[in-house]
Chains A and B, each alone.
Chain A
Amino acid sequence: MAEKRKILLIDDDRDFLMATKLILEKNGYEVLTAENGKAGVDAIRSASPDLAIVDMMMETWGEGFSVISEVRAMEGGKDLPLIILSGVDLQGPYQSFEPSEQFPRVDLILHKPVKADDLIKHVKALLG
């Protein structure tokens, strides 16, 4: 069997992280986790995952965005598939967030909670 594809989850809610991790692992992926933006960026550097799923609103508003900006700016980070998993679809400045010129590119925005089937479908599509 081919080597497992590696997915990095970045989210400051440990329980949410665990739930998502289990869904991905059950579907045959290797899962790394990071509980804040900085640890996430470090993990992308050191473990070179095949895909990263980033919570948009961690400790501070927009921490997810700084992760994405940093990743896109780092060597080899330009093409890393990135999914935003957002809990803030209700209100605030990100309500109508769509990747645009001002924002670094993300591949997909999903909303919490995410159905396992949806998540896997999108991950599969992004990992080819």
Chain B
Amino acid sequence: MPMSYESQEDLVLIIDDEETIRDGCRQVLEKSGYDVITTGDGSEGIRIAREQKPNLVFVDLNLPGMSGLEVIDILLADIPHIVLVVITGYASIVSAVESMKRGAYDYLPKPFTPDQLRAVTKRGLDHHALIIEAERLRAAQEEMARDFITFVSHEMRSPLMTVQQSLESLRVVAGDCLSDEANQIIERCEKRIRNLEDLVEHWLNIRQIEEGTLIRDKGILNIADILLHSMEDMAPLCEKRGIVLKSDIPEDLPAITGDRESLVRVFVNIIGNATKYTPAGGTISIRARHDDYHVHVAISDTGRGIPKDKIPFIFEPFYRVKERGEHIEGSGLGLTFCKRIMDAHAGKIEVSSEEGRGTTFNLRFPR
């Protein structure tokens, strides 16, 4: 089956220390319409392959100096989609098998005829075209998935906003006619819609982080500022739940590089999380410090803690630490979001927890 692969001439590289083999191969393959480069040296072959990106490389296993197997390992690691065929000098099936194990596509035992060479070359190049085609399809599929998610998120947000606005108008229109019970029903609706909205937003944000579009411009940031801002945001909620929010943030923290908005959301998320699992009368404390290389932030609560066996999963999407029948508010994507944001800042987020005593999130930023 001929592949429709016309984007560039098929370039074949031959690495073999025997001059007669190199010249013979060149003649045969050039006559068949391929571009051919040859070299007798392994490291020279690697240099050429890196520069010229051939589609197919013949490698003699029995090279002087660098071994053919080494050449294979380096080429496969360095050049995506490259197809390798080994030439085995002494018809050794053992070395051919070893190279195939390492990722070579085919082998050609010496001595070989022009027909055999042409057949192996054609097979190798067809295989290469197939890899490229598969890669193209995979990329197209990924793009479709990405567009789909963006589309769905927007299509979901729009009706959510309309439902919220309608509930708001219902209150206004009904005025004082609504009983306490009716008002509670509306409140419950609003709460669940907000959760759904958070979910859509987090989902979209995570996609944006993956695409690299959420954090576009990083600036020099004062982390104390960001922490205080986040605490201000969360203070009303803590007060409402009867939780004390306190901080120990030194004034001389060094600056970090990052995206202010998304970091505020990381801290707000973690503090918000702590409020869900900390009973009234508890404390959430925020401490910051620095060493020669990092700025550290620790957010601790005196809540019920996370069971040891669940800690490995808490940054996974939609994982929730909850007891049977319990409804915990939130999108289930909050900590996943935090983790991705920290990754995008070359930072680290870890959790330590003791059941019944509380949980601490440790965040680390490079200075």
Q: Considering the chains assembled together, what is the distance between the CA atoms of A18 and B358 in angstroms?
A: 48
B208 within 8 A of A: yes
Contact (Cβ within 8 A) B204 A116: no
CB pair B201–A19 under 8 Å, yes or no, is no
How many residues from B make CB contacts under 8 Å with A?
A: 18
**Which of the segments A20-28, A43-51, A63-71, A99-107 contacts the partner chain?**
A20-28
Known: A87-B158, A90-B157, A91-B213. A26 touches B165 (CB 8 A): no
A contact residues around B173 at 8 Å (CB) = 22-23, 26
Check: A115 CB closer than 8 A to any chain B CB: yes
Q: Which residues of chain A have C-beta atoms less than 8 A from B165's C-beta?
A: 16, 19-20, 112-114
Residue B140 lies at the interface, judged by CB distance under 8 Å to chain A: no
A40 CA to B165 CA, complexed, in Å = 21
Chain B residues with CB under 8 A of A59: none
Contact A91 B208 (CB under 8 A): yes
Chain B's nearest CB lies how many Å from the CB of A101?
21
* CB of B191 closer than 8 Å to a CB of A: no
Which residues of chain A have C-beta atoms less than 8 A from B201's C-beta?
90
Q: Of A22, A27, A87, A114, which contacts B157 at CB under 8 A? A: A87
CB-based contact B204/A115 at 8 Å: no
Q: Which of A19, A26, A90 contacts B162 (CB 8 A)?
A: A19
CB pair B169 A19 closer than 8 Å = yes
Give the contacts of A22-81 with B (CB-CB under 8 A).
22-23, 26-27
Q: How far is the CA of A115 from the CA of B167 in the complex (A)?
A: 10
Is B134 at the interface (CB under 8 A from chain A)? Answer: no
B101 to chain A, nearest CB (A): 47
**Are A15 and B169 in contact (CB-based, < 8 A)?**
no
The answer to whether the Cβ of B118 comes within 8 Å of any Cβ in the partner chain is: no
Task: Check if A13 is an interface residue, CB within 8 A of chain B.
Answer: yes
Q: With a CB–CB cut-off of 8 A, which chain B residues contact A112?
A: 161, 164-165
For B213, the chain A residues whose CB sits under 8 A away are 91
Residue B168 CB within 8 A of the other chain: yes
B208 to A87, Cβ gap below 8 A? Answer: no
* A116 and B171 contact, CB distance less than 8 A: yes
Closest chain-A Cβ to B199's Cβ sits at a distance in Å of 13
> Considering the complex, which residues of chain B in the window 186-232 have a beta carbon less than 8 Å from any beta carbon of chain A?
201, 204, 208, 213-214
State whether the Cβ of B172 lies closer than 8 Å to any Cβ in chain A: yes
Contacts of B169 in A (CB 8 A): 18-20, 22-23, 26, 116
Interface assignment of B141: CB less than 8 Å from any CB of chain A: no
| Contact A13/B168 with A22-B173, A26-B173, A90-B201 known, Cβ cut-off 8 Å | no
- B166 with A15: CB separation less than 8 A: yes
Q: Mark B120-159, 1 if CB is under 8 A from A, else 0.
A: 0000000000000000000000000000000000000110
Q: State whether B204 touches A91 (Cβ < 8 A).
A: yes
Q: Which residues of B contact A22 (CB under 8 A)?
A: 169, 172-173
B168 touches A116 (CB 8 A): yes
Which chain A residue shows the least CB distance to B157?
A87
Question: Nearest A residue to B213 by beta-carbon distance?
Answer: A91
Q: Are B166 and A19 in contact (CB under 8 A)?
A: yes
**B162 near A15: Cβ-Cβ < 8 Å:** yes
Assuming the A-B contacts A15-B166, A19-B166, A90-B201, are A113 and B161 also in contact, with contact meaning beta carbons closer than 8 angstroms in the complex? Answer: yes
What is the CB-to-nearest-CB distance from A103 to chain B, in angstroms, rounded to a whole number? 20
B158 touches A116 (CB 8 A): no
CA distance A115 to B164 in the complex (A): 9
Check if A16 sits within 8 Å of B204, measured CB to CB.
no
Determine how close the nearest CB of chain A comes to the CB of B28; give it in whole angstroms.
56
State the 6 A-B residue pairs at the shortest beta-carbon distance, nearest first.
A113-B164, A19-B169, A19-B165, A22-B169, A113-B165, A112-B161
Which A residues are closer than 8 A to B by beta carbons? 13, 15-16, 18-20, 22-23, 26-27, 87, 90-91, 112-116
11 contacts between A and B (CB under 8 A): A19-B168, A19-B169, A22-B172, A22-B173, A23-B169, A90-B157, A113-B162, A113-B168, A114-B165, A116-B168, A116-B172
B residues near A, CB below 8 A? Answer: 157-158, 161-162, 164-166, 168-169, 171-173, 175, 201, 204, 208, 213-214
Knowing that A112-B165, A113-B168 are A-B contacts, what are 5 other residue pairs whose CB atoms are under 8 Å apart, sorted by A's residue number?
Answer: A15-B166, A23-B168, A23-B172, A23-B173, A87-B161
